[in-house]
Amino acid sequence: MIATILTTSAKRRLILVGAVVAAVYAATSGAMLIKPSPHFHFVDMAWNLMHGRMDTDTPRRWPNQPEKPGEPKGLQRAVNRHLLAPDGKNVGWNDWASYRVLTLKGGQVVRGVFPWKDQTGPRAKEFHTLEGPWMIIDVDKELKTGCKPDRPTERCDEVVYQVSFPPLPAVVIMPFVAIFGYDINDVLVTLLFAVASAVLFAAWLERAARSGLIATSTGDRLWLVALMSFGTVAWYCSIRGQVWFTALVMGLTLHLLYLWWGEGARRPFLAGVAFGLGVATRTPLLFAGVFLPMEALFPNGRPAWRGEPGQLRKALGQIAWFAVPAAAIGLGLAWFNWARWGNPTEFGHLYLLEGTRGPTRDHGLFNTIFLNNNLAAALTNMPRLLAQAPYVLVTRHGLGLLASTPALLALLGSPKVAAPDPADAQAVQAAQRRAGLQRSMLITLAAVAIPGLVYQNDGWQQFAYRFSMDFLPPLLGVLALRLQQLSRGWKIAIALSIVVQLFGAITFGRMEQFYYD
């Protein structure tokens, strides 16, 4: 795929990029790399799917519970890692979704949650079903008893637990789970995908330079790869495993693959596969689906319907080839969601804390009421500088991109591209293609980033805005297309970004004195 279009020297650079990124990530991961992370949701999902279950009993367990014959290898060790803090305190289950199955005295079985069960008053009895309608249920008076023969007086009230994340990462690690059980090292798996992302971005830059889309030197392209790998949130997200960060890192790799095949609509079927798998990893990538249609309908930056005869038909054919695998994967995901939640669009985040999480309960998953906080987390949150130790404090809502990756300020300037000589047809075509690709990437960037700004979570418990991983490929693609050549000032800005992200990679999750709520 990559090897067939790159020169020998370019291939060597890709090997060098992979080796350097792997070494630096491994070094900064440190002790985290030699053991599984505490958050093993994908491992749990993989094990249960392999054994014919979509739900899980894992959250019913407690610390240091005696192992039972026939239990998965490493299950109790994983439970202990998740539940027990270094001081031995039980910190509880984090980000497991659940709902209740109630059998009423008349025999009716309903599935859902009591969103206000933690409150007093009439709303505490308001039961919202998975299917949508809600009803008033008094569990003390209206539930049937005796559903379990050995417990004839017990109410028919069961809790069902689920992993509330898209399933692809669990599918990817199934072979390893089959071998290692719950002892699989998810940190190492995450790091390998992160290295693949660095190589893919470097390969795209090489291809773009070869096709005349960018004019950067070899050294400048390596600076841009360093920016992505070490000057963005990719660094601290890639070295720790853990369910949230693993999904972000895998999603980054698949997004880059999607853009690689989707640019110019050159491989629409493969682009559709990468896109569909990306959505099966990170649902925000659904909005990136606009990229290939833009590339197909505006080849060389011009509308297909104003081009040569047959150009529009070709574009529609490319979109169709893209849609086939994307739709197939989408239908699979819809069935997966329906089987688990009775809703084809629900992955389960609505049912975290059994539906009692305040912001979601009161405002839904998406609402403009979240915009102010999310804008601050995404863009403007700054560190606090102190005159005494620890000298620097970072909010757990995370630094904004302006503070964590100041090199992105280059996006605010005018494009640094000289106008082509009108007599040079190849240069004119490259300029048109560059403008069209930049437009496709800008639209994709906005399509992915904007919905996240009204999402109920700003990324809480992060060094910097981790959700930027979802739109990092088009963001850095636009940056590369606009800058063309890196001045000394921009290299200094990249170096500063790397210093900031190094601080996050070293301290986040390890040196709590630098963070505040």
Q: How far apart are CA 445 and CA 409, in angstroms?
A: 16
- Cis peptide bond upstream of 390, omega within 30: yes
Three-state SS annotation for 199-226: HHHHHHHHHHHHCCCCCCCHHHHHHHHH
Claim to verify: residue 112 and residue 27 sit in the same structural domain = no
The DSSP H or E segment spanning 320 is helix 311-341
Is residue 77 situated within a structural domain? no
In this structure, what token pair is assigned to residue 504? 């996050």
pLDDT reported for residue 344 = 93
Give dist(CA 128, CA 110) in Å, integer: 9
* Count of domains observed in the chain: 2
Residue 155 has a pLDDT of: 94
Task: Give domain status of residue 90, yes or no.
Answer: no
Give the residue with greater pLDDT, 462 vs 299.
462
Q: Which two tokens stand for residue 27?
A: 């070094």
Residues 239 and 101 in one domain: no
Q: What is the pLDDT of residue 308?
A: 81
Mean pLDDT of 369-383: 96
**Considering the chain, what is the average pLDDT of its residues?**
93
pLDDT per position as a tens digit, 80-103: 999 999 889 999 999 999 999 999
Q: What is the mean pLDDT of residues 271-279?
A: 98
Does the structure show a pLDDT above 60 at 416? no
107 and 192 assigned to the same domain:
no
DSSP assigned state of 66? P
Task: Provide the terminal-to-terminal Cα distance of the chain, rounded to the nearest Å.
Answer: 46
Claim to verify: residue 315 and residue 410 sit in the same structural domain: yes
Mean pLDDT of 28-42: 96
Is residue 477 located within the same domain as residue 348? yes
pLDDT digits (tens, 9 = 90+) for 135-167: 999 999 999 998 988 888 999 999 999 999 999
Q: Which of 60-69, 293-302, 462-471 has the highest mean pLDDT?
A: 462-471
Residues 141, 194, single domain; the answer is: no
At residue 6 the predicted structure's pLDDT band, cuts being 50, 70 and 90, is confident
Domain annotation covers residue 291? yes
| Local confidence band at 4 (pLDDT 50, 70, 90 cut-offs) | low
pTM: 0.95
Tokens 């895998």: give the residue: 250
pLDDT attached to residue 376: 96
Instruction: List all residues 6 or more positions away from 126 whose beta carbon is below 8 Å from its beta carbon.
Output: 114, 115, 116, 134, 135, 136
What distances in angstroms separate CA 6 from CA 2, 126, 202, 211, 428, one per listed residue? Answer: 7, 62, 11, 11, 23
Q: Does residue 20 fall inside a structural domain?
A: yes
Q: Does residue 266 share a domain with residue 192? A: yes
Q: What is the pLDDT of residue 300?
A: 80
**Can you give the pLDDT at residue 169?**
98
What percent of the chain shows pLDDT beyond 90?
A: 81
Closest CA relative to residue 398, chosen from 459, 344, 481: 459
Helix axes 472-483, 425-452, angle to 10 degrees: 150
| Helix 243-262 × helix 268-279 angle, to 10° | 170
In a domain, 247, yes or no: yes
Pairwise CA distance, residues 492 & 501, whole Å = 14
- Do 273 and 317 lie in one domain? The reply is yes
Amino acid at position 52, single letter = G
Asked if the structure places residue 12 within a domain, the reply is yes
Residue 359 has pLDDT above 80, yes or no: yes
CA angle 496, 237, 378 (to 5 degrees): 65
Residue ranges making up the domain that contains 232: 3-31+185-516
- 280 in the same domain as 134: no
* pLDDT band (50, 70, 90) for residue 369: very high
Q: Is residue 72 situated within a structural domain? A: no
pLDDT of residue 5 exceeding 90, the answer is no
Distance CA 479, CA 231 (A): 13
* CATH at residue 149: 2.30.30
Q: Is the per-residue pLDDT at 415 higher than 70?
A: no
Q: What is the mean pLDDT of residues 387-398?
A: 96
Examine the domain organization and report whether 368 and 474 are in the same domain.
yes
pLDDT band at 314 (very low <50, low <70, confident <90, very high): very high
- For residues 353 and 217, membership in a common domain is answered with yes
Q: What is the DSSP letter of 67?
A: P
Provide the 8-state DSSP code for 302.
Answer: S
Residue 231 and residue 332 share a domain: yes
Q: What is the pLDDT of residue 70?
A: 86
